[in-house]
Amino acid sequence: MKSATGKIGIWIIGARGGLATTLIAGTHMLARKLVDTSGLITCSAEFSKLKLPQFGRFVFGGHDVRHTPLWESALAIQATTHSFPGESLKAIRSKLKSSDANIRPGMTLNCGPAIQALREPTATLHGKPDGVLRQLRKDLQEFRKQHRLERVFVVNAASTEPPLPRAPFRKSGEGLLQAIKANDKRLRACELYGAAAALECDGIINFTPNEGMLSPAVCGLAEARGVVFMGHDGKTGETLVKSALAPMFRYRNLKILSWLGYNILGDRDGQVLADPLHRASKIRNKDGILQRILGYAPTSIVRIDYVPSLEDNKTAWDFVHFEGFLGHRMSLQFTWAGTDSILAAPLVLDMVRMASLACDRGERGRMEHLSVFFKAPLGVGEDDLHVQFHRLTDYVRSAAAQD
């Protein structure tokens, strides 16, 4: 195994959003030891023997369809959720400015009405798919070159798109490249981002429910080049708790009759999810998990409502109605109050570190040991959080032993 020791690029789709801003600012704070490592899985005791990249080695860039500088984005976050402790934000102001300089115009091709409403025309790439793809690739090449990056990982942290319809061209890398060449009207932004990433970078993390980023076609391209990847849809809050609690009912043979989940949130994320077209992608992932864990399908309702005053402080109420001995009915309810970007950002950093390790170890393709991070883990039929976590720690132990 030959570990990389140089700089590592993290290229974020949605680089000016709340998650990206928290990730960029937070990584710089970690590098300067302004904060401790709470929330980072890869900083747990179990991971201490692995050679994972230090925080100071990361360089950030990305695509976005808005112009708001990261500093302004960070101030807005600070004013609402107070995510950055004390004077830490001021201390890394210049770092945000440097990252700003690496952000390039993105696009919203067929991303759905709620996302298109957010874009600023001058921050958006125009033209035909093949030209756009060329530009995206060029952006990635320049990022790598300019910063002499040993590796580049692409992270999709964009807003949630409507579900992706099936189409033959989405099944193979070849098909996708031909569709792009033919300027197929059905192409989505995430597919172009995915293709560019597969052709230019070392690893791909799809933190969104947008399957196009890692469609079978994109996965095909990635596998062909030996790129590592994993997705879809980061498991950060209500679904995390669901996947931790549902097994308990199964263990005790307590039959779940109904599991209702009501999610309320503000922010840009909430705004996009307020549109039923967009919401559908997220609800599918939040909803399917139960049946896969339990082996049967209780009444399951998941709702997401847009409540501007909550900003990024996502709140969820879940009510679980279940049947025990003699058919007796009982209930469990919980309220989760979490700040979304704060929950999501460290997971992205964890996964980039693990992807870098996978590259060091010469792995290629799907990183199934990262299933614990996702609501709909690619190619993994296991949603039980505990099984997923032990799969990760098994990998870690084995990697540490081989080292």
126/386 with CB nearer its own copies = 386
The side-by-side arrangement of strands in the sheet containing 203-206 is 103-105, 58-64, 7-13, 149-156, 203-206, 228-230, 365-366
DSSP of 29-55: HHHTTSS--TT-GGGSGGGTTS----G
- Three-point CA angle 353, 51, 350, nearest 5°: 20
Contacts of 194 (CB under 8 A, 6+ apart): 156, 204, 206, 212, 213, 214, 215, 217, 218, 221
40/355 with CB nearer its own copies = 40
DSSP 233: -
d(CA 362, CA 356): 10
d(CA 379, CA 214): 11
Enumerate the β-bridge partners of residue 302: 261
Instruction: Tell me how far, at minimum, the Cβ of 372 lies from its own copies, in Å.
Output: 7
Residue 315 has a CB neighbour count (10 Å cut-off) of 17
Instruction: Tell me how far, at minimum, the Cβ of 93 lies from its own copies, in Å.
Output: 16
76/224 with CB nearer its own copies = 76
Instruction: Tell me how far, at minimum, the Cβ of 68 lies from its own copies, in Å.
Output: 18
Instruction: Tell me how far, at minimum, the Cβ of 104 lies from its own copies, in Å.
Output: 26
DSSP 368: G
168/295 with CB nearer its own copies = 295
139/340 with CB nearer its own copies = 340
94/333 with CB nearer its own copies = 333
Instruction: Tell me how far, at minimum, the Cβ of 48 lies from its own copies, in Å.
Output: 12
Instruction: Tell me how far, at minimum, the Cβ of 45 lies from its own copies, in Å.
Output: 8
What is the 3-state secondary structure of 135-191?
HHHHHHHHHHHHCCEEEEEEEECCCCCCCCCCCHHHCCHHHHHHHHHCCCCCCCHHH
91/167 with CB nearer its own copies = 91
* SS3 assignment, position 63: strand
Instruction: Tell me how far, at minimum, the Cβ of 64 lies from its own copies, in Å.
Output: 21
DSSP 124: B
Instruction: Tell me how far, at minimum, the Cβ of 91 lies from its own copies, in Å.
Output: 13
221/385 with CB nearer its own copies = 385
At 379, list the tokens. Answer: 């190619």
